[in-house]
Amino acid sequence: MLSSHLDWLSQILEELRKLDGNTKLGCLGTSIAGTWLRAQLGEHLQFYVDEDVSRQGKEHLGLPIQSPEQVDPESLVFLAFPFPVAQKISRKFQDYDFEVLLPPNPLR
């Protein structure tokens, strides 16, 4: 069980590290997952997105926290949640101009 979770986390990093260096990559939320991503990706992660207005306009680990409305249309926002949860959350952002990236589906 632990091995499959670690493999899944490795897949996430592998996919995110494959992105073009010009990709404006953000992460939804500043939770443990968002913090872990910053530690793993360093400068590849450029911003956070949070729907909580009390967090917007601040920084987390040196990166700006933006509202969904502030995200540049050319950006990619990673949803750092288990796949089924990320899939549901992604529907909230379907009318925004930025692209949403889901984590790998561990059932595939």
Residue 105 has pLDDT above 90, yes or no: no
Residue 108 domain-assigned (yes or no): no
Range of the domain at 71: 2-101
Residue 22 domain-assigned (yes or no): yes
Reported as a single tens digit per residue, the pLDDT across 66-80 is 999 999 999 999 999
Reported as a single tens digit per residue, the pLDDT across 3-32 is 787 887 888 888 888 887 788 999 999 989
* Domain CATH number, residue 18: 3.40.50.720
How many distinct structural domains can be found in the chain?
A: 1
Alpha carbon distances (Å) from 74 to 6, 87, 108 = 30, 21, 28
Residue 86 domain-assigned (yes or no): yes
